Amino acid sequence: MAELLRVEGLRSGYGEAVVVQGVSFALDAGQSLALLGRNGTGKTTLLNTLVGATRRHAGRIVLGGVDLTPLPPYRRAAAGIGWVPQERNIFKSLTVHENLTAVARPGPWTVARAYEMFPRLAERQGNLGNQLSGGEQQMLAVARALVLNPKLLLLDEPLEGLAPIIVEELLRSIARIVRDEGLSAIIVEQNPKQVLPITQRTVVLDRGQVVHEGASDELLADPGRLERWLAVAR
């Protein structure tokens, strides 16, 4: 399987404050990766660095053979990074359909396919973004990233603060996107038992450094390590 993403010795943060401390890992095309760690360990900062929204102090980011390191955020998006931040960043004054058509690029993920993936959005395509529930806004944020037809999808805590029934619905959709459709993704999630079953690889951060990298199913089967690194109950 061809390598899609390589991160080498990445140090980054905000201003002079370094949060990510020499992180290195790789991800193959078609693979998904769970990015885990306690609060404040640098997970969001790492994703923000991949999209170019932090100050990089050292290291390289290579996506599909293209060195993203010197590129501004808009060129990283054009190179194939799709990003769903915690804030969602949908256009709240536009309709669901306008949100999607405004950013769609040619490729297999069309607006019609996004509606098929998220039937709730198809039912509400005439609604403004600010008329959607929190869960529907999150679905729209994911759908917007998909219609960009990225090579790599970054999801920063996509299940945070959602009702359990919406969590189940969104988790099924994400599982289909990364496992059945084979879109490469990095998923930050506080609950490892939700994200480990739908990913192939896992990186665990502690104090901005990688303390574990390996197969997701192996970590899921090792409650001792989950407890030690993530304070997950056995």
Q: How many domains does the chain have?
A: 1
**What is the reported pLDDT for 92?**
95
Residue 204 falls inside a structural domain: yes
Work out the average pLDDT over 189-218: 95
Q: Are strands 152-156 and 66-67 parallel, antiparallel or unpaired?
A: unpaired
Residue 151 falls inside a structural domain: no
Residue 32 falls inside a structural domain: yes
Structure tokens at 85: 């931040």
Cα angle 39, 166, 145; round to 5: 70
What is the tens place of the pLDDT at every residue in 50-62? 999 999 999 999 9
Whether residue 218 is predicted with pLDDT greater than 50 in this model: the reply is yes
pLDDT band at 234 (very low <50, low <70, confident <90, very high): very low
What residue numbers bound the domain in which 231 lies? 1-80+191-234
**What is the reported pLDDT for 230?**
83
Location of structure tokens 């095309």: 29
Whether residue 64 is predicted with pLDDT greater than 60 in this model: the reply is yes
SS3 state at 39: coil
138 vs 142: CA distance, rounded Å: 6
Whether residue 132 is predicted with pLDDT greater than 60 in this model: the reply is yes
Residue 96 falls inside a structural domain: no
What is the overall mean pLDDT for the chain? 95
**What is the reported pLDDT for 227?**
85
Residue 34 falls inside a structural domain: yes
What lies within 8 Å, CB to CB, of 4 at 6+ separation is: 27, 28, 29, 30, 31, 63, 64, 151, 152, 184
Return the axis-axis angle of helices 164-175 and 134-147, rounded to nearest 10°. Answer: 10
pLDDT band at 223 (very low <50, low <70, confident <90, very high): confident
Following DSSP, what letter does each residue of 85-100 receive, concatenated?
A: -TT----TTSBHHHHH
Closest CA to 18 of 50, 42, 52: 42
24 vs 10: CA distance, rounded Å: 6
Residue 94 falls inside a structural domain: no
Whether residue 74 is predicted with pLDDT greater than 60 in this model: the reply is yes
Whether residue 188 is predicted with pLDDT greater than 60 in this model: the reply is yes
> pTM score > 0.75 for this model?
yes
Residue 218 falls inside a structural domain: yes
- CATH of residue 222's domain is 3.40.50.300
Whether residue 233 is predicted with pLDDT greater than 80 in this model: the reply is no
**What is the reported pLDDT for 225?**
86
Cα angle 197, 201, 203; round to 5: 110
Whether residue 67 is predicted with pLDDT greater than 80 in this model: the reply is yes
Whether residue 91 is predicted with pLDDT greater than 90 in this model: the reply is yes
What is the tens place of the pLDDT at every residue in 136-164? 999 999 999 999 999 999 999 999 999 99
Residue 31 falls inside a structural domain: yes
